[in-house]
Amino acid sequence: MIRRTLLALAALLLWPALAAAQDPAAPALPRVALETSAGRITIEVEEARAPITAANFLKYVDEHRFDGATFYRAMQSGPGTGLVQGGVNNDPERVLPPIAHEPTTQTGLSHIDGAVSMARYAPGTATGDFFVSVGPTLSYDAGRSFSVDPDGFAVFGRVVGGMDIVRAILASPTSPTEGEGFMRGQILEPKIVILQAWREAP
């Protein structure tokens, strides 16, 4: 009897999550395919939870500003973990105006394995460069006692296809001399070209 009651209680607690997952009225999140010289990566974009950052990324996609851009950085923080960074790399012909910062404390998102987040300098300077977490990189979240930056970085999506490609990019060769400051030794050689980026059909 006690076991049956506990099972019923567990089912009641799980019901809202299951209902949300199966709600046909919930709009599907947009997905973006990045066809790279290393293979295809598919990103699900958190349009509802990070609307400013998601809209910015999708604008770069829709205006074909990522076509011909690159993944240019691989930072290993441990065996098989770290991040890979790509985007327009401050190309003046590709870059759009910077956007407002959406911290993870506001969106509820986090730098889990496969999270896609905006690269930036100060908060409010993010434009058209992004990075993918390989393994959890929770120190890039905002508001944690161990955050590398108290404002954190703005997560706006996650890789839902091609994490094997992302891990291969992380393990790719880097130049021992290219890059300034902390990025020295993290610049890919050769860079991985983003041949084309597009929204996948719903």
User: pLDDT for 95-142, tens place per residue?
Assistant: 999 999 999 999 999 999 999 999 999 999 999 999 999 999 999 999
Task: Find the helix or strand (DSSP H, E) in which 27 lies.
Answer: none
* Alpha helical stretches, state H, the chain: 2-22, 51-62, 104-107, 163-170
Share the mean pLDDT of the chain.
Answer: 90
- Where does residue 21 fall: left (phi above 0), alpha (psi -120 to 50 degrees), or beta otherwise? alpha
- Please tell me the predicted confidence (pLDDT) of residue 26: 67
Task: Check if the beta carbon of residue 91 is closer than 8 Å to that of residue 72.
Answer: no
Residue 4 has pLDDT above 50, yes or no: no
Sign of the Cα pseudo-torsion (103, 106, 107, 113, in order): positive
Q: Whole-prediction pTM value?
A: 0.86
Please tell me which residue, 91 or 22, carries the higher pLDDT value: 91
Task: Check if the beta carbon of residue 53 is closer than 8 Å to that of residue 102.
Answer: yes
Tell me if residue 152 falls in helix, strand or coil. Answer: coil
Residue 10 has pLDDT above 90, yes or no: no
Q: pLDDT tens digits for 162-173?
A: 999 999 999 999
Q: What is the C-alpha separation between 85 and 58, in angstroms, rounded?
A: 17
Please tell me which residue, 6 or 111, carries the higher pLDDT value: 111
Task: Find the helix or strand (DSSP H, E) in which 127 lies.
Answer: none
Tell me if residue 115 falls in helix, strand or coil. Answer: strand
Q: pLDDT tens digits for 25-54?
A: 667 999 999 999 999 999 999 999 999 999
Q: What is the C-alpha separation between 126 and 129, in angstroms, rounded?
A: 7
- Please tell me the predicted confidence (pLDDT) of residue 182: 82
Q: pLDDT tens digits for 139-158?
A: 999 999 999 999 999 999 99
Report percent pLDDT > 90 for the chain.
82
Nearest CA to 189 among 13, 50, 71, 19? 71
Q: How far apart are the first and last CA of the chain?
A: 46
- Supply 189's token pair: 């050689």
Residue 197 has pLDDT above 80, yes or no: yes
Write out 160-189 in H/E/C secondary structure: EECHHHHHHHHCCCECCCCCCHHHCCCEEE
